[in-house]
Structure 1
Amino acid sequence: MGHFNKYLVTMRENKLYSQGALAKALNVHRNTQANYEDDRDPPLDYLLNFCKELDISFVQILSKRIESSSITDGAKRKALEELSYQGSKFKSSDSQNNKNTSDNTLEKLLSNQSSNFQSYEVSNDLFKPMPKGSIVLCDTLDKEITSNCLYGFSNPLTNEFTIARVELTGSSLVMCFDNPAQENRVFMLEGGEMERNIILQTLGLVGKAKFSLGKL
């Protein structure tokens, strides 16, 4: 996996998209998405759609692509200078870019409905993409279960905060952890929507996870 490909994975995970969900949103095959995150160089139209879907600056993505290229240092400097944004030269590092992206997105979310959003620290390593210590922003008013979305759960007894992807079928509710070392939790539904809501309340559903700030 190349440096730029790893960067694309980080951006996707920061915005809480699964690989399959992003592939669907960008109208590409999941195998194609996997290749772009491994070692294949994504085309320009893909990167444009990627930035639009994840609300990321295209200048930031293009600059990262230039930094990861095999051209000479002099050529990199010249290209980055020509990507100057709002009259200033665009200079970046991994940590600064990630911090700026997190800060801008967090500010946007909080400015929209500040009373709805609460930050939580993940208490365990059940959900592999977001290990213990990760900070997650949840919308406490958005508890509708949607396919391929992530949700936060705060155990009513221990206050342990867990992230999981929730899948609903006609007869079951499944907490998916995307972790080979952790079995998914399956709850059989026999009482319809009322039983589903009781189970979610018992599990301590906080709301839909909107954004990950990583470990602070």
Structure 2
Amino acid sequence: MTNEISNKKDLSPEQLEELLNALKTRFEKNIQRHEGIEWAEVQAKLEANPEKLWSLNEMERTGGEPDVVGHDKETGEYIFYDCSAESPKGRRSVCYDREALESRKQHKPENSAVNMAAEMGIELLSEEQYRNLQKLGIFDKKSSSWVQTPSDIRKLGGAIFCDWRYGHVFVYHNGADSYYAARGFRGALRV
């Protein structure tokens, strides 16, 4: 897996079949994440939204292991989060956003979390979404994930990230321009 985002936003029939099989298998193995939701309904929604399938493929390709975590009854959308045990490997060693990336004088990372998410057509999880994800399993026991940072923190040069340690979700701060091999980001997608 690479950090490069594919410029081609269409999936071949083989890629589509492989993605749908991976999503269905994960869906069936993790029913506790989406009780009461039927795969056939999710698949029909996915097949009607090819641009969302491309985004899900990017989530999968970069190691996110996306899965359904909810259904918005008002909009009819299914909600996918990255559910990989650790922060997705194909999205690590990135600073928080483009401004942070451009502010680094030396040893710049290849990309930023906010930019990669935008290129993939997804959003970084918010702190609340991250906490909700942790109710569905235990994630980031060895890694950490950038989350959406409030503008007042970002204006001062900081950004926030979360992880799971000692049986709790911890929220930390760091300079937005920092990056670590064990820190990436998790995304959300509504279909």
Q: TM-score with structure 1 length normalisation?
A: 0.27
Q: Bigger radius of gyration, 1 or 2? A: 1
Give the number of the structure whose residues are more often helix, by fraction: 1
Give TM-score, length-normalised by structure 2. Answer: 0.30
Which is bigger in relative contact order (C-alpha 8 A, separation at least 6)?
2
